[in-house]
Amino acid sequence: MTKEEKKALLYSPDHGFDRFPQDEKETMHTYCENYKAFLNCSKTERECVVSAVRLAEEKGFVPYRYGMKLASGDKVYCINRAKGIMLAVIGEKDLSFGANIAAAHTDAPRLDIKPNPLYEEAELAYLKTHHYGGIRKYQWVTVPLELHGKIVRRDGSEVSVSIGADPDEPQLVISDLLPHLGREQGKKPLNEAIPSESLNILIGSWPDKEYDGSDRVKLAVLELLHEKYGITEEDFISAELEAVPAVMARDIGLDRSMIGAYGHDDRVCAYAELAAILQLEKPMRTAVCIFADKEEIGSEGVSGMQSEEFEHFMAELCKGQNVDLRDCFAASFCISADVTAAYDPNFSEVYERRNSAYLNYGIGLCKYTGSGGKGGASDASAEAVGRIRSLFNCNGVFWQMAEMGKTDAGGGGTVAKYMAKRNIDTLDAGVPVLSMHAPFEVVSKLDCYMTYKGMKVFFEQN
């Protein structure tokens, strides 16, 4: 055996930057700038849908209407209750040959405003919150916040809310204890030091001067809201308002090799899918790109990946071709495009170094997620992993295997199991993230780009 042959026996990938093709550097740069722009105007699942529609229509996608006749090469999208979207490019082959499906989620951990949120205490006005998804509560205090969402008023009319993103607009914040008085708090475990009911957002401090009743600061805030949005206090009950970190996507590192932002999980994969399907012209197999909602709370509800809205859309596409939906699913393949944990040397004790994903080694393939012995994982087959591995190897897509962390350290899940349950072969794949679920998460540009490239070759697959 030669030295080269011996080396080929070992699995030890080189750093992505060392083998990155010179002629793709500009493409990677442009891709990442576009991704940052997408993030900056897509801070909630609703805004992700708006952004996706804008970009898709520029590329000739049209809204799907039930019963519409479609031909190969046609590009359609279908919005699910303003919070999810499915885009499809119809293939040359009919749907009995299956579809290439990529499913990501665009909801992200955040602080939702409670149905009766507004109160005054010590002449300060606050909004009470109920956190959405898995957050580390101590990370959300003293972080500037924006408020985004929708209010349905008493008369049924709707108004969209966005406060804090524009530099001229005010922002909101949750206060924290000063260290001088934090002796007792400092002794508590991290997950108890900031109780959920203390995550109250400071929203005003000036009273209504004319009013002589109580709660004059609260009233002054309501007056401002009434003026701007035409709402009364009762209207909060039919509102979905989300407090999200007031941060713009920024390059991280002196070498600008990374991107810091809120909501990389999972908009970094959602954007990769979207950018890939927008490039597609006449694929052999029908390509489907999904932005799902509610993944962070178990993919529940009508806008989550467990919803039959997906069957509804796919069955419609199949019906137009006289294909049974079950035959289509059985022949389809799904990439559950979701982020994974990147190895963090500051917390090496929770990672298993030989099976962790690292920044700059490309898209992470997760054979299984789950916790406590693969509990809750769909556990992709060797064949499913083999198929994607070979596809990526043949097309210059850098990839790595990824387990979230040590088996006993915890775990997590994705939409993969809900796709697999539909009799669709499914593999998890996505970008490794540092500080996942924090108000400011970090990813590597190279991994973002490789995930996009991976989605593109996946959609182009025959």
Residues forming contacts to Mn ion in the complex (CB under 5 A) are 265-266, 338
Minimum CB distance to Mn ion, residue 106 (Å):
10
Q: Looking at beta carbons only, is 94 or 266 nearer to Mn ion?
A: 266
Q: Looking at beta carbons only, is 120 or 265 nearer to Mn ion?
A: 265
As a whole number of angstroms, the distance between CA 245 and CA 440 comes to: 8
Say if residues 160 and 230 touch (Cβ distance below 8 Å): no
Q: Looking at beta carbons only, is 265 or 316 nearer to Mn ion?
A: 265
Q: Looking at beta carbons only, is 98 or 430 nearer to Mn ion?
A: 430
Minimum CB distance to Mn ion, residue 22 (Å):
32
For the chain, what is the HEC assignment?
A: CCHHHHHHHCCCCCCHHHHCCHHHHHHHHHHHHHHHHHHHCCCCHHHHHHHHHHHHHHCCCEECCCCCCCCCCCEEEEEECCCEEEEEECCCCCHHHCEEEEEEECCCCEEEEEEEEEEEECCEEEEEEEEECCCCHHHHCCCCEEEEEEEECCCCCEEEEEECCCCCCCCEECCCCCHHHCCCHHHCCHHHHCCHHHCEEEEECCCCCCCCCCCHHHHHHHHHHHHHHCCCHHHHHHEEEEEEECCCCEEECCCCCEEEECCHHHHHHHHHHHHHHHCCCCCCCEEEEEEEECHHHCCCCCCECCCCHHHHHHHHHHHCCCCCHHHHHHHCEEEEECCEEECCHHHHHHCCHHHCECCCCCEEEECCCEECCCECCCCCCHHHHHHHHHHHHHCCCCEEECCCCCCCCCEECCCHHHHHCCCCEEEEEECEEECCCCCCEEEEHHHHHHHHHHHHHHHHCC
Q: Looking at beta carbons only, is 245 or 283 nearer to Mn ion?
A: 245
Minimum CB distance to Mn ion, residue 86 (Å):
18
Minimum CB distance to Mn ion, residue 354 (Å):
24
Minimum CB distance to Mn ion, residue 450 (Å):
18
Q: Would you state the torsion angle of the CA atoms of residues 124, 125, 130, 133, taken in this order, to the nearest 10 degrees? A: -80
Minimum CB distance to Mn ion, residue 114 (Å):
22
Minimum CB distance to Mn ion, residue 337 (Å):
9
Minimum CB distance to Mn ion, residue 336 (Å):
9
Q: How far is it between the farthest Cα atoms of the chain?
A: 92
Structure tokens at 247: 């941060």
Q: Looking at beta carbons only, is 117 or 263 nearer to Mn ion?
A: 263
Q: Looking at beta carbons only, is 293 or 338 nearer to Mn ion?
A: 338
Q: Which residue sits closest to Mn ion, CB atoms considered?
A: 266
Q: Looking at beta carbons only, is 146 or 266 nearer to Mn ion?
A: 266
Q: Looking at beta carbons only, is 47 or 265 nearer to Mn ion?
A: 265
Minimum CB distance to Mn ion, residue 415 (Å):
8
Q: Looking at beta carbons only, is 106 or 286 nearer to Mn ion?
A: 106
Minimum CB distance to Mn ion, residue 298 (Å):
11
